[in-house]
Structures are given as structure tokens and as C-alpha cells.
Structure 1
């Protein structure tokens, strides 16, 4: 009988996901003699085409604007580091937390949130678009590399954590919750739910909760970093936010003549540290109060356990408000967003009207597809594009491609 000796079993708590008690894969496979199921999932994600494309998909700034700004790939790696740190401190399965961090942005369109907004608008008549649901579609269908199945055939716990890392998607009766309330779940989630039950009505395991909060921590800190280095706001502007003002005062008191680049880094690293330590303390307290004896106890708790304290949650909301006003709504960013929105919209309209313009294999078997299926294929094709490739495709098809440089 296989044991988990040598795989970190000593450090995992009873409420952590146990890879050797996994609910398995949709398509059964022999176990690896050298890797746990979650380690194997991590490796499959890293070697996927969708993961490589993250290098040329952007967060806020489009690809031409500088080599030092975050891309989806660098952001994903940073989320992964924070998720592992949280998992280690809370005695969770680090490999599963890493899997979920590495896969959480695989479904993002080119051009960051602007691309997603436009794709949702274009797909509105066909069920809309959601990047989290698209991530599930990528790992269960669009990655076509293996001889015996489509997708990556990831473990149940990885898929469950990926699709609902922000909380339950439906109530116990199956009615959609959150942003889907009053409507229906995205196509990719509904389509996969027929094949495998991911318990969409419960909270995910603690590893998924750790990956979700790690995303928030990384996003806030690194958009501050990129925004400062891009000159969208000045360091002193951060004093508008008490949480950031406190950090800035700490840095200036300890290093009164620090050069700007190092000063920025000190602010960012201290923000990450404060948020991580807060989540660890809050998570330990919440887990202790629940006294769970299994990962299922975490799912059935009815609320998130790995989260910010109330005080830090309030501070983090203030940071997001600051970033929204100073970065995401900055006139320079909005000007570029308007241009890239037109690129995505043009591509969708062109391919929907003439799907044969898509390259192989996307243009194969189109006559057999309904209008909905054609729109879904166009959506899959565009969503998988990098920023650079989207621009190249627009130049191939149109004479008025915007100059983003």
C-alpha cells in the first residue's frame, strides 16, 4: 500500500487536503511512484501551452510598455509564492495551494480586464464570459496534449479549488450565488458539472482559500509597485491611505535618505509581509475555533476561514479604492484600454461573421456547429491569444490596427 512518507506528511494538518486520499481524476491513471497527485498536477499546469502564454498576457500595462511591469506570468509566480507561504504556516498541502495559484489566471483574455470586459459583452447573447470558468475550460478541454483525454485530467481537489476558490457558486438547491445570482452559471462550469460533481454548493478547501487571498495580496502590492514605477502617482500620494501612510512612515523613519527605487521596494515588501502575517494569524484563529478534523469540515464550515482580519480587510479595500482611482482609471491607462477594447471587439465580430478566417484547427468542422457553438469557438480562440498575437491577427485582418506604442 502506498504511503505518503517522504512527501511532507509530517507537516500536514488533519484538515489539509491529503493527496493520498484524493477523490481521483475523471479519467483514471496509474499513480506516479515519485510524485503526489497534486505535485503531478502542478507539473502538468507548468508544462501547458496556456501557462506559457501568460508570459505575453498583461495585467494593467500592455506588452510594449516595458520589461519590468507585471505580466500574467510574473503575477502568477508571485501569487504562487505567497500561497505556498500561507499553506506552510497553516499546515496545508503546499503543492495543492501552488497548483491553484499557478492555474488561477489561465483563462484570462489578452489585454487584462479590458479584454475580459469586452469578451463578456461580445458573448452576452451566448451566455457571457467569465475568466474563472474559462480557466476550468482550459484545463478540462482546450489543452489537447495527451493521447487518452482532452485537458490535463487534474485531480478532483485541484478542479474544485480552481472553479470555486472565491466561495460556493450555488446554494444547496442549485440556484446560482454571487455575481451569477438570478442568472445561470457560465457555460464552461455547467458543461463540466455534467461530467463530474465539484460540490459547487460548498466552500472550497483551505488550500483554495489560501490561493484566493494570495491573489489579492499580490495584486494590491504589485499594482502599487507598477503604478509608482510608471509614474501614474507619486509615493507621497499614498499617504491618502492610512495603511500605506503607516508603512511609508516606517520606511522613512528607518531609512531617511533611501533612493526612490529601494524606497518603493521597501513599501511593497512590507505591505506583502503585513498582509501575509495578518492572514496567517486570522486563519489560525478561525481554524482553531472551528476545530476541523478533515478537509471536508473546512468545506462545510459555511464561511471562509483563510482571510484577512476585519481591520486588514478594511485597509485592503482602501488600497483597492486608491488603485482604482490612481491606476485603473488613470487617463493614460484608459486611453490604451479603449484602443485594445476595439481590437478584441473587431476580432470577435470578424470571426463570428466569417469563422473560416480563423487558422487551423479552429476553422475545422464549422458547418456542423450551431451559432452558439461557433461563438464559443471564437471566444476560445481569442481568449487564448497573447496581447502580441491579438495585435498581429488584427493587422492581418484590418487596415486600422491601433498603434499602442
Structure 2
């Protein structure tokens, strides 16, 4: 006669050390197994008693499930005996399968959910934000296995991701940006009841470097450099950079500019990042760029941030931007300092910083700039950098009447 016995299937242990509990149905000819839906570690299983140890989490519930299935097996054997029929392993398996709890579905795959996350956000994210999320996906693919599941997102998930990114040689500022996006993905998982809690993570410290900006002469050199032998994308990159330098606005907002946003020489822009509405006067060189595209559908060209920044480095080198600047990167706890030609760090962001620095040098107050380019003074100050000559000139004026030296310069 077939016999039902609870067993811990150690041969099916997963990576976390958990094994399923089966009801083994055996006679002299066959052995069959029916899952109870219980998964525990070897230390939580009492082999002699055939039950989960009381110290294990949900032990009472697990043991009740096991006992119910054993009782069902006994009842079926009694009924078959009364009917004068032999009890086979297949009979008992069919009887227990009706009583077995539904097999839990495997947790969804991380990359399947990531693609759903991207799909749901595509219409709301700026192009530059989407590029960051695509970069994050690439790093996750390097770090995780293709079959990694949402259940693998432990409390240390984001901290472990930080360690991986630093190990890949990324600077702390880039690591923080990618980790922040990963945190947004985890928040989405929580909102969709796929994760119970967003893993905690602390931003890494970042080294504050010098603000890289262009002088007015350097800006004119970029404007006037001959790019006629290069593809049209280079001239598009220059126009976008110059618009940032002439208006002080984010490249993401400039890229969304439409003809209807420009009225009487003023650009009415709704910031994509903050939702703030600004009225930005277009100075003559900015109007020339816009008016030069009068036959086009849009007042400014379209170009991805990455491609634009790559083109700008070539343009900067052609324009003779060879002045040396000091840049600082922090990777983990190490701070690296490099001295490089300015064209190697030329990006659209440098155009925005150049505008702010040039306006401050011209006498515009931070209060005036606050309404034009930023929403808070702290952020504005991080963008500002006066030229060394401008500082020397101001110091000469301030200390011109003092004694004890021959003056500055």
C-alpha cells in the first residue's frame, strides 16, 4: 500500500539555502512527490518528526498545511479500502494535488519590470533622462544575471549597486545619478506592489571642482570657427551650445523651444525640471540663430545630449580652446585631480555656466539672475565663476588706496 511521508527536498535547494517540503508517496513500485508550498532551510526542518521546527517563521501555518495533506491521504486510503480497491501512488497523488496549495508564481524578472517601467515613463521623461535610464539598464545587465528576479532586491541592493559602479571606475557624481534613478525604479516597484520597501542608500560624497566656463573671447571663437567641412550635426551642436551661453537656460529646455514660445524677442519657457515659467529675453546673437532657421519647423535643431557633447569637444579644439583647467573627480574615497585643455571638458552645461559668470562680471546681481536661470541661490552660486583677470581688476580697485605694497598685477 502506498504511504505518504513529509520530506525536505534538499536536492532542490535554491541559492538562499531554502528547500521545498514535499509529501512523498511511495510503494514498492513507484515514488511520487506532491509539493506542500512550504520552503525552509535544513536547520528549520525536524526530520524525525517530519515537521517544521517551532522556531521557524510561520511554523504553525506550515505544519498545519502538512498535517492537512497527510490527513487527506489517510482519508483517501480509508475510502479506497472500504471500496475494496487497492491504493496506488498515482491515486494518492491525484487526491493530494486537489488539496495542495496553489503553486506560488515565481517573482517577476527585474529586467522585464524595468522595461515596463521605462514604457510607462517614456512620455513623461526628458530625452536626457531617458539616456540616463538606458545607461543604468546597461550597468544593471553587467551586474545582474538575465534571470535576476525582483525578490533578489534586498535592503542592501542599492548600496551594492553603488559598489559595483565605483568598481567599474565611475566617478561618485555619476554613481549618485545612476543610483538615484535605480531608487526611482524601486519606488515604482513599490507602487505596483512588487516590492515592499525601497532599499535605503546614502549619496556618495563628491569633490567640488572648479567651474569651467568660457570667456567672451572664447565664446566668439566657438561662434566663428569654420565647420563647413564637418557634418551638419556639428553646426547643430554649436547652435545649441551658443543658445545656452546666450540665454543661460538648460539644454533640455532649449531643445523643446517652439516658434509659438517666442514673442517680441522674448522666449516664454516652462522649465521641464521645475515647472517654473520664465520670460527669457533673446539677445541679438540668439535671435540671429533662431531667425536663421525661419524656414525650419523648429527654432533650434534637435540633437541628443551625448552626441552634442561629443561634437563640442571637436569644435572646442578647432576653436583653439587650449587654456588649461583643473577638474576633480571622486571615485569612492579617492579624489583625482587632472589638468586638461578646456576643449576636453566642453559640454552644453559649460554654455549655461558661461552665461551666468559673464552676467555677474557685467554687473548683473545674483537676485536678477535668480529669476532668470535658477530657483534657489545655492544652485546659482555653484554655477558662477568669475575670470581670474576680473578678480584681479576688482582687487586692484578695492586696494588701490592702501599702503604696504606695490599693487596687484
Q: Smaller-chain TM-score range?
A: under 0.3
TM-score, length-normalised on structure 1?
Answer: 0.20
Kindly indicate whether structure 1 or structure 2 has the higher relative contact order, using CA contacts under 8 Å at least 6 residues apart.
1
TM-score, length-normalised on structure 2?
Answer: 0.20
More strand by share: 2
